[in-house]
Amino acid sequence: MSPVALAGGSVAAPGGAHRRHLRRGARAGPLRRTAAETAGICLLAGGLVSLAGCATIPGGGGTRDPLEPLNRITFRFNNTLDTAVMTPVARGYRDVTPAPVRRGAGNFFSNLHAPVVIVNDLLQGRFRQGGSDSARLAVNSTVGLFGLFDPASGMGLPRHRQDFGMTLGRWGVGPGPYLVLPFVGPSDVRDAVGVGADAQIDPLQQWSRQPAKYELRAVDLVDTRARLLGATAALQQSINPYVFMREGYLQHRYHLIHGGSAMPGLPEPPPPPPRGGQSGGD
């Protein structure tokens, strides 16, 4: 199996939710953030709620992707960049790095990102999970040697996925229009706001005045991209990569936030009446 199908196709791939902070790049200062920035985030989040009101979840791309022409341009740009730069670099990294080292790198960055997970646990009122994730951070940062190893998973403290986009979703905020962000990949208005908010508490993001910061981020990015190399093929092999990524993203986010399927009646639409004439043999 060549697993993963998807996201690899664009730089999107590298960007996991938490990887997106990259784009905020150099600007991110130390933990302090200007009042204006904070206010901006709040305003944006507020606007979102109203935006979300008009967004429908299921249905064709039309209502969910009003920015499609622009998104398609960004999608092409991301793919070009990914093919030219990220994929070769990630391949090189994969080829020269033994699997245990890559696993260690993945664990390390995941651990560094744990505060974002914990804060979002708490914002969603998931106190038990927040406790578990805090214990996980403590265990992996100590026994796990600064997060290089993941002994916590074996101790009943599994890794959870959380981000502020999910928090907003669980608060009832809809996704709003689908967005393809340059350098980042598939997103939507709600999740883009979430990425900005998460960056405010992400240690990797806020950890400035450390010369190691940019190197760390670069490794994090390459490591993540390498993990998704197998996905590239499936994206490219789909008959419609742009729509493949969009539908996959929106459905997957829906599932993460609400559980279940975006298609509540699993079995899908009422079947059209059978018609004769489709032979179908090969």
Per-residue contact flags (x/-) with another protein for residues 48 to 87, judged by CB under 8 A: ------------xx--------------------------
Q: Which is nearer to another protein, 46 or 60 (CB)?
A: 60
- 189 touches 48 (CB < 8 A): yes
Give the three-state DSSP class for 69.
helix
Site for another protein in 167-196 (CB under 8 A): 185-186
Instruction: Locate 184 and state its tokens.
Output: 């980042």
Could you tell me the smallest distance in angstroms from the CB atom of residue 106 to another protein? 6
The percent of the chain in helix, strand and coil, each rounded to the nearest 5, is 65, 5, 35
By the rule CB under 8 A, 12 interacts with another protein? yes
Q: Which of 7, 86, 173, 180 binds another protein (CB under 8 A)?
A: 7
What pairs with residue 180 in β-bridges?
186
Q: Which is nearer to another protein, 200 or 246 (CB)?
A: 246
Taking contact as CB under 8 A, which single stretch among the options 43-51, 78-86, 101-109, 126-134 is the one that binds another protein? Answer: 101-109
Q: Which is nearer to another protein, 37 or 216 (CB)?
A: 216
Site for another protein in 207-246 (CB under 8 A): 224, 226-231, 233-235, 237-240, 243-244, 246
By the rule CB under 8 A, 199 interacts with another protein? no
By the rule CB under 8 A, 148 interacts with another protein? no
179-215 as b/e, with b when 16 or more CB fall inside 10 Å? Answer: bbbebbbbbbbbbbbbbbbbbbebebbbbeeeeebee
Q: Which is nearer to another protein, 35 or 268 (CB)?
A: 268
Q: Which of 8, 104, 130, 169 binds another protein (CB under 8 A)?
A: 8
Count the residues of the shown chain that bind another protein, applying the rule CB under 8 A: 77
CA atoms within 13 Å, Cβ hemisphere of 98: 2
Select from 171, 166, 178, 156 the least CA-distant residue to 244: 178
- 247 touches 14 (CB < 8 A): no
